Amino acid sequence: MMQSSSAQSIVTTDDRDSALKQALARFATDASCLSVEKKDALAGRADLLHSLLREIDETILPRRLTLYFDHQVVAELTVSHRRLLSLDLTGASSPAGNQTSIAQIYAQRLRQLVLSNTGTGFRITRQPCETGIESESCSAKLLMDTLAAQQDQSHLRGFLSLVGHDAEAWIFLDSSAGQTDSSGPDALIQRLSGLAGSDAAARQRRTPTVRVPDQAPSCMVLRMSPEMRVIIAWHQSEVLLVALPAQTLDNAMQAWRGIFITQG
Amino acid sequence: MNIAERLETIRQTTPGCELIAFGDLGTRLVLRSSAVSQPPQEYLDQLCAQADHGFGLQDALASQVSPHPDITPEVMVITAQEVRIYIRSQNADQDTASDAILCVCDCEITAKSLIDPAINLLNDLAGGA
């Protein structure tokens, strides 16, 4: 139990002495405890995010960390001096999206990893490695702060941050704030705008006695062409329309579920 | 088999299908349904209204390009609790253009597996079977 709580305290405190003491205490524990941790991870009982952050925070010498879900490699991380130097997701496009800092990009990829882990076990292996000329890195502490900040943003903004990199175009509307943001080619933006207008008009026409359960978050999948889909997601006063390739739809649905089912 | 029996058969032979209904989008009324546990009428009406809304948006999207593409037969909706798929016929005439099959399932895979049986049912109904 002590080990599982130490990860969070390590990365959320500035007291480096305390963090060092906790890390030393963890390393000094009976090897059977570490074995139990590994078994918990393999059985899907451990917290993936905390495990990764702890690995980063406890790594001084350059190491390449490989993350497995069951027997499949899903990510590779390069870590040194308690900082994350690189994070590559296997079989997924590397999102650039709207993120502006390396911490935001890594935090987004970590969230994507956590969302893609549907309760299956995981395993992290470590190998010594050379560090290249990576110019950008961030600490576990900064990663945790960034993850917390992303959690506080609107759910649909969070969804957009996960699928924006796959999107050909998107429009975000917040009627309560009178705010509209968009990205993509003009032609696609115009089509999405037209669709948003049709949606709003239909909702205004709807009789109050026959209501779609608007209060609950939901998203609808429409076909724009054989190769393209449009997702319309509603939550409270916000609407997000995203045009994206059909082959990325499953990932987008998984992202939506990750946000709205785990966070409510 | 009548409509109710066809709906029952589709639901029972599709694991993960919790509800299947035949509705009229014009009146937004569910006319027949089969469910693991019978939902309140208001819920069925909401499904019908949402299907009508979804097909309206799908048609609005199609109308933006010329020539207009073929009618898209399905619209899928994901909620925190369930996956809904609404299916209409691509070959409906004036009398059956408002017919739709409304399904509630546990996941997208189940939902997609219901498209073909639902279209077959709609086509049979349109043909008077």
**How many Å lie between the alpha carbon of A255 and the closest alpha carbon of chain B?**
12
Helix (H, G, I), strand (E, B), or coil: what is residue B47? Answer: helix
The most confident of the ranges A29-43, A124-138, B76-90 is B76-90
Torsion A61-A67-A71-A74 (CA) sign: negative
Whether residue B53 is predicted with pLDDT greater than 90 in this model: the reply is: yes
Q: Per mean pLDDT, which range of A157-161, A175-179, A213-217 is the poorest?
A: A213-217
Distance CA A171, CA B54 (A): 18
Burial class (CB in 10 A: 0-12, 13-18, 19+), A202: middle
Rg, chain A, Cα only: 21
Residue that the structure tokens 């048609």 belong to: B59
Residue A26 pLDDT: 67
If you ran DSSP here, which 8-state letter would residue B69 be given? Answer: P
Distance CA A81, CA A10 (A): 15
Mean pLDDT throughout A48-55? 89
Percentage of chain A modeled with pLDDT above 90: 33
Q: Per mean pLDDT, which range of A49-63, A97-111, A192-206, B90-104 is the poorest?
A: A97-111
Give residue A205's pLDDT band: very low, low, confident or very high (50, 70, 90): confident
Whether residue A3 is predicted with pLDDT greater than 50 in this model: the reply is: no
Chain Cα centroid distance, residue B128: 18
Q: Is the CB of residue A206 less than 8 Å away from at least one CB of chain B? A: yes
How many residue pairs bridge chain A and chain B with CB atoms within 8 Å of each other? 72
Q: Which of B28, B30, B48, B61 to mutate to test the interface with A (most CBs of A within 10 A)?
A: B61
Residue A141 pLDDT: 87
Give residue A10's pLDDT band: very low, low, confident or very high (50, 70, 90): very low
Give residue A264's pLDDT band: very low, low, confident or very high (50, 70, 90): very low
Give residue B69's pLDDT band: very low, low, confident or very high (50, 70, 90): confident
Cβ contacts of A24 within 8 Å, gap of 6 or more: none
Beta carbons of A213 and B53 less than 8 Å apart = no
Between A175 and A249, the more confident residue is A249
Residue of B nearest to A210 (CA): B46
Q: Please, are residues A235 and A216 in contact by the beta-carbon 8 Å criterion?
A: no
Q: Please, are residues A124 and A55 in contact by the beta-carbon 8 Å criterion?
A: yes
Give residue A9's pLDDT band: very low, low, confident or very high (50, 70, 90): very low
Q: Per mean pLDDT, which range of A108-122, A243-257, B2-16, B53-67 is the poorest?
A: A108-122
Q: Is the CB of residue A202 less than 8 Å away from at least one CB of chain B? A: yes
Whether residue A8 is predicted with pLDDT greater than 70 in this model: the reply is: no
Give residue A197's pLDDT band: very low, low, confident or very high (50, 70, 90): very high
Whether residue A2 is predicted with pLDDT greater than 50 in this model: the reply is: no
Mean pLDDT throughout B76-85? 93
Average pLDDT for chain A: 80
**How many Å lie between the alpha carbon of A260 and the closest alpha carbon of chain B?**
6
Beta carbons of B61 and A221 less than 8 Å apart = no
Whether residue A136 is predicted with pLDDT greater than 70 in this model: the reply is: yes
Instruction: Tell me the β-bridge partners of A222.
Output: A230
Percentage of chain A modeled with pLDDT above 70: 75
Mean pLDDT throughout A97-108? 73
Show the tokens assigned to A108: 């987004």
Distances (CA, A) of B13 to B7, B9, B33, B89, B103: 10, 6, 15, 21, 14
Give residue B14's pLDDT band: very low, low, confident or very high (50, 70, 90): very high
pTM for the whole structure: 0.65
Give residue A5's pLDDT band: very low, low, confident or very high (50, 70, 90): very low
Cβ contacts of B80 within 8 Å, gap of 6 or more: A216, A217, A257, A260, A261, A264
Distance CA A168, CA A188 (A): 8
Residue A44 pLDDT: 72
Give residue A15's pLDDT band: very low, low, confident or very high (50, 70, 90): low
Between A125 and A153, the more confident residue is A125
Rg, chain B, Cα only: 14
Q: Per mean pLDDT, which range of A216-230, A232-246, B38-52, B86-100 is the poorest?
A: B86-100
Instruction: Tell me the β-bridge partners of B35.
Output: B19
Beta carbons of B45 and A210 less than 8 Å apart = yes
Residue of B nearest to A220 (CA): B77
Whether residue A125 is predicted with pLDDT greater than 70 in this model: the reply is: yes
Residue A229 pLDDT: 95
Between B20 and A34, the more confident residue is B20
